[in-house]
Structure 1
Amino acid sequence: MRPSCFPARPATRLALVLIGLAGLGGCSTLQSSDNVLLGLITPYRIEVVQGNVLTKEQVALVQPGQSRAQVRDILGSPLLTDAFHADRWDYVFTIRRQGAEPQQRKVVAYFTGDTLQRIEGGESLPAEREFVNSIDTAKTPRNPKPLALTPEEIKALPVPPAPAAPASAPEGPVRAYPPLERS
């Protein structure tokens, strides 16, 4: 006895199989290479930020001869400290943000005892402003208008009122309050 959920005719079975395959084949065309579904919906991508953000300005403050504490104050705690390489601190930074290119940077500080000997990898770091621009995904500039006023705008400002006369002595009854502490 045949189960009732399957049609009896082979042509009907074949048609159902072809419709199912066409439906499954259509699923692969819904997403394009940039992960936009039907050209309208973009799936959420979590931002992954790891390590210390280091800029040219920060690394320029670090000089050979400084102590570990001074380097830590300027650059922050290293991402990697190795028990087998106690005189080496690795500062690694990676960021993956939707709408911006992934970035990875590495700076290594070498110590002898408690004294910094050299730092490597600081040449390829961006300036602070360059870094902010590289991760900024805003489509329009945040401050399109300059912050300074033109001379015409300064002249158009209202004149501030003259300072008020100094306040006179308080008017009304004078009150005496009991002391806060008891003797």
Structure 2
Amino acid sequence: MNSVVTRALMLATALSLTACSSWIYRIDIPQGNFLEQKDIDKLRVHMTKEQVRFVLGNPVAENAFDDQTWHYFYSLKGGRGSNFEKQLVARFDQEGKLLDISGDFDKPAQFNTPLDI
């Protein structure tokens, strides 16, 4: 009978601990470049790689086989299970001038107007 009581207490303790697990603080885990639309709005066609790097920071990934494509990615894994992801791909021509952007952000209305004008 003693082992039955011990097992019942162990089971009750385990169940009560799992019920409390929702009270445990879990941290948010951010990864990548946090970008906002106001940052993307500063981009213009024909910007140099240095200018894009100044506005957006270093890309998360540069393709080793194609250095004309930069990938910006941001992920936030919430401690409570909510996730958030955004990405931006910047493409450059052979001279290192910005050709196009694509991804989860709106292309700026003035994107096709170079800064030189």
Deviation at 1:19, TM superposition (A): 1.9
From 30, 35, 46, give the equivalent of 2:17: 30
C-alpha separation in 2, matches of 1:71 and 1:82: 16
Deviation at 1:108, TM superposition (A): 0.8
More strand by share: 2
Identity of counterpart residues, as a percentage?
A: 24
Alignment of 1:86-125 (within 5 A): 86-98=67-79, 101-113=82-94, 114-121=96-103, 122-123=105-106
TM-score scaled by structure 1? 0.50
**For the aligned residues, what is the CA RMSD?**
2.3
Question: Which structure would you say has the larger Rg?
Answer: 1
Report the counterpart of residue 17 of structure 1 in structure 2.
3
Report the CA distance shift for 1:100/1:17 in structure 2 as closer, same or farther (over 3 A): closer
Report the counterpart of residue 8 of structure 1 in structure 2.
none
From 23, 33, 53, give the equivalent of 1:72: 53
C-alpha separation in 1, matches of 2:39 and 2:97: 18
Count the aligned residue pairs. Answer: 104
Deviation at 1:82, TM superposition (A): 2.0
Structure 2 alignment gaps of length 5 or more: 107-117
C-alpha separation in 2, matches of 1:94 and 1:104: 4
Report the counterpart of residue 65 of structure 2 in structure 1.
84
Report the counterpart of residue 43 of structure 1 in structure 2.
24
Deviation at 1:35, TM superposition (A): 3.0
Alignment of 1:128-167 (within 5 A): none
Give the residue type in structure 1 aligned to 2:101. I
Report the counterpart of residue 114 of structure 2 in structure 1.
none
Structure 1 alignment gaps of length 5 or more: 1-14, 37-41, 124-183
Deviation at 1:76, TM superposition (A): 0.6
Deviation at 1:31, TM superposition (A): 2.4
Report the counterpart of residue 113 of structure 2 in structure 1.
none
Report the counterpart of residue 58 of structure 1 in structure 2.
39
